[in-house]
Structure 1
């Protein structure tokens, strides 16, 4: 606005004339300022009576921000944020008063002490009445003086409870020692145990049964009675079981217009068009059907009515023999390589080995768990071994000759549903309720490959392709998924067959012998046929009243297909 009046220094030696002049000048300036102020007020301008004065370019005052404030309502500058707190600290406050309280009486600093040492001193004090003096004063005796009962200190020599342990009689026991690694048979190492120690041996069958009885009583379930195996018998339904040359019905017929002994599949397969025959005899739903090995002139079926039946495929198509031996539904059946024997696995927890021709039950096996699938090792030199997938997540290998378990594969997390041999029978693939697929080397109880994907579902039916290259799996999300059966066992994402409904059912699937088609049953009783190369659905038709649980393509006939359903019928299509 205008410059402030400059004050002049007065001198004692200055003239009185100068004083008069200055007084006059001062009066004039005052009059001028009053006039100017009046003109500013008349124009509506405000007067700043105390203007801001800046000293050497820095501001004199800064807005103070309290350090305890949680919210700032303006945009502070850097200098304002980092200004020190206003006012001096209270010099009379002690460190404890300045710190925030963390207990009722004030503030306690953290101090480290080993948990063991604290417990050691606490127990020593409660047991003997003395402990180390906890005072910390930096003196020479710090951590050496004891407080408490002086007499007890003298009696125990100042030892803590942990130092005063007395050797118990068990601590003097002698160990069995043999640390010589060259002694292969007798080497004990750290597993020697004590000389007077009793090793716990696995209980015998009688002891196990007694233990189970005791446990059953405790849990108030009542007495658990071990079910004795059902009396096995079989009924022959045909009179001409032996032909004029003395050959049984196991011998493939040679007058049916097709060579049933050939190993070469048909050159070209065709879609079946008509229903040509129905086998009836089972009173309840069928769970599995199997061709007689190589020739497929006989068909074996097992059912929920606890029976296994053998049927003729050619000529009169009669029921040849019925095998009775299970108390509950039969889940799976499997022939050996020459078809002279077969296995049946039932919900009564028994796996039974039958003579196909005579109908005699050769032997029975049980692991006290439900077997869901059973299969012979396909190698000719291992026909005495078979594997079974059980409800307790294990795959158990039995030796038929001794009746003993020779190997257990225990890595699955759910009941084992299928076992499929691949790679010239050196390996086998298993699927389980844990939605995974595992690949095993024969006789090695650790899976060499584990396939599990968050998108995968349980796969209760698996079939190997005729060229041994692919595994077709019935997935519970209404799809057929394909895995390569060589080396990597990778899922083939491009080949997925859809359109049918199988969720909740273990519907079997099969390839045509020339690998041009793949077939599957479904929950509505329909049979589906897809093209293998294009994955296009070619045909579907109503085959059964209930679930169509299994489909099998005849290995020698180019267009013949067998389906089995929960209506207890087996149907033949051409």
Structure 2
């Protein structure tokens, strides 16, 4: 306190006495008094850097450019890639970093083929250097496969093994023109070509179109000058003829026990000794869905392509298969094979009975349409346009029953007259192969579908469509079946459903009727309506036969008709008189009869 109060102040305590003499301290000349608090004058940013959390990934201060541009200090990371310019770059390929380089596709292809053929290629980063087999690179001078050309000796040796091109004025026989089709022979055969002109060095003169180099050994000179015996004879004209092969002879064979009965009648006679009247109007009785297999026919060696009951009575069954044969079967009595019709060299695509049943048509991949006599098996007509027929249909009208339509692979529908064999009309508005032809409106019109995913309606005899339907959601319609009431036609669509179109003037789609639940994609599978119009039946790619109710569209029943070995059921037909009999056939070549 004495230092603050000064030397001239004493204690005010009267009781205090001092026995010692008092001495006076010196007084300073000036006194400094600081009343402000202590302030830290150091850089706060550096203080935050010093106090920053080392585990934090975010900066809590604004770093200066000088701090950010300082060189890295401290020991190097032993796990970090070093060396080269790509040490700090991330991988863009599984094995590291690949630098992009500008190189044309042609150059890359040439270098790639060179490496595959010769074992070397140029270094992309240093084009003057090579990688791979350096010995081959030195041997071939670093040339790529584009620059490699065979020497004259190699070219001459190759040309010497080729036949003479021949004289263009000769079509057949010795010296016939071969041109670019001249063949190359083995090393021990040479052809005697025209001698090279002696005034010009061999290899220096340009060869004419019918000249080639020949290198012959002296020991083989005589053999080379002799006419070569190993040259095949000129091809027969029939071998190069691209016209339809109609030379297949038509034959028939009767297989039944007896061709005539005791009254001299053939199998064309409708039997009267049955418990059912086969002469009544089809569809006059109520139909039911078949449940069991009652008979099996086995004679075809390949897939069944068509099944047709005899018109109205149904006492005969016509079958056709990919083996090129058509067969007539007895649907009653002993159910035996009656007759085989042979006359096609390839698979039969479609068949159709004449409305009276006396004749029937067969269409085949051999581009022939043939008309057969049902009773005696004679071929009474042949028709062809040079294209493959996919579908054939007789005109059901009695006054026009001598004419039929054929849908061809060349987008045309052709109309033939069976009496004269002449082509009388063409309908050529489709854009792809024809799939179906269906007569509607009392046989005055017909509907056709095609692989162009369209539907067209025509007046019979007029080659201009009266209705054209092609929607973006439509699929190709591969098979058709008219309803017995004549107002609708059901079509097998390629999207695993059956669609229905009207058969009247407007030809509109009935969207309320759609039958689903089966698989038919990839196959041309038949569909049929029952004679009374109550049910709709269709095959299936898994070997089933599906039955729907026509009014409700509900699937009633499904039976496995493809056998244990499987295979699609592609053909079926409903008996016109029986209440619940259906015949089916498929890829296994077996015909099954259901009731």
TM category (shorter chain) comes to 0.5 to 0.7
Which of 578, 583, 588 is the matching residue for 1:567? 588
CA distance, structure 1, for counterparts of residue 376 and residue 574 of structure 2: 28
Cα distance change, pair 347–500 in 1 and its aligned pair in 2 (3 A): same
CA contact (8 A) 1:413 1:434 kept: yes
The residue that corresponds to 1:511 in the other structure is 529
The residue that corresponds to 1:552 in the other structure is 573
CA distance, structure 2, for counterparts of residue 346 and residue 467 of structure 1: 32
Which of 368, 380, 399 is the matching residue for 1:381? 399
Partner deviation per Cα, 1:102-128 (whole Å, 9 max, x = no partner): xxxxxxxxxxxxxxxxxxxxxxxxxxx
Quote the offset at 1:402 in angstroms: 1.5
Quote the offset at 1:228 in angstroms: 3.3
The residue that corresponds to 1:478 in the other structure is 496
Structure 1: 5+ residue runs without aligned partners?
A: 1-209, 211-216
CA contact (8 A) 1:266 1:558 kept: no
The residue that corresponds to 1:434 in the other structure is 452
The residue that corresponds to 2:342 in the other structure is 324
Quote the offset at 1:223 in angstroms: 2.7
CA contact (8 A) 1:414 1:432 kept: yes
CA distance, structure 2, for counterparts of residue 496 and residue 392 of structure 1: 31
CA distance, structure 2, for counterparts of residue 517 and residue 336 of structure 1: 25
CA distance, structure 2, for counterparts of residue 283 and residue 512 of structure 1: 29
CA distance, structure 2, for counterparts of residue 508 and residue 278 of structure 1: 19
CA distance, structure 1, for counterparts of residue 300 and residue 277 of structure 2: 30
Quote the offset at 1:229 in angstroms: 2.8
2:539 matched to 1:536?
A: no
CA contact (8 A) 1:242 1:249 kept: yes
CA distance, structure 2, for counterparts of residue 247 and residue 479 of structure 1: 45
Give the 3-state SS of the residue equivalent to 2:240 in structure 1: coil
Quote the offset at 1:224 in angstroms: 3.0
Partner deviation per Cα, 1:410-445 (whole Å, 9 max, x = no partner): 000000011110000000111100011110001100
- Alignment RMSD (CA, Å): 1.9
Cα distance change, pair 246–450 in 1 and its aligned pair in 2 (3 A): same
CA contact (8 A) 1:373 1:419 kept: yes
CA distance, structure 2, for counterparts of residue 228 and residue 470 of structure 1: 39
- Relative to the length of structure 2, the TM-score reads 0.59
The aligned runs of 1:233-382 (5 Å cut-off) are 233-382=251-400
Cα distance change, pair 238–470 in 1 and its aligned pair in 2 (3 A): same
CA contact (8 A) 1:266 1:557 kept: no
CA distance, structure 1, for counterparts of residue 290 and residue 507 of structure 2: 32
CA contact (8 A) 1:471 1:482 kept: yes
Quote the offset at 1:286 in angstroms: 0.4
The residue that corresponds to 1:75 in the other structure is none
Partner deviation per Cα, 1:333-371 (whole Å, 9 max, x = no partner): 011011111110000000001111110111111100000
Which of 464, 470, 483 is the matching residue for 2:482? 464
CA distance, structure 2, for counterparts of residue 406 and residue 339 of structure 1: 23
2:483 matched to 1:493?
A: no
CA distance, structure 2, for counterparts of residue 382 and residue 565 of structure 1: 33
Give the 3-state SS of the residue equivalent to 2:375 in structure 1: coil
CA distance, structure 2, for counterparts of residue 421 and residue 306 of structure 1: 27
Give the 3-state SS of the residue equivalent to 1:460 in structure 2: strand
Quote the offset at 1:266 in angstroms: 4.0
Structure 2: 5+ residue runs without aligned partners?
A: 1-170, 172-177, 182-234
Give the 3-state SS of the residue equivalent to 1:381 in structure 2: helix
Cα distance change, pair 218–460 in 1 and its aligned pair in 2 (3 A): farther
CA distance, structure 1, for counterparts of residue 379 and residue 180 of structure 2: 36
CA distance, structure 2, for counterparts of residue 229 and residue 472 of structure 1: 39
The residue that corresponds to 1:93 in the other structure is none
Cα distance change, pair 481–219 in 1 and its aligned pair in 2 (3 A): farther
Cα distance change, pair 236–496 in 1 and its aligned pair in 2 (3 A): same
The residue that corresponds to 2:118 in the other structure is none
CA distance, structure 1, for counterparts of residue 246 and residue 350 of structure 2: 21
CA contact (8 A) 2:327 2:338 kept: yes
The residue that corresponds to 2:174 in the other structure is none
Cα distance change, pair 224–380 in 1 and its aligned pair in 2 (3 A): same
CA distance, structure 2, for counterparts of residue 511 and residue 315 of structure 1: 26
Partner deviation per Cα, 1:392-420 (whole Å, 9 max, x = no partner): 00000111122111000000000001111
CA distance, structure 2, for counterparts of residue 228 and residue 518 of structure 1: 39
The count of corresponding residues between Structure 1 and Structure 2 is 360
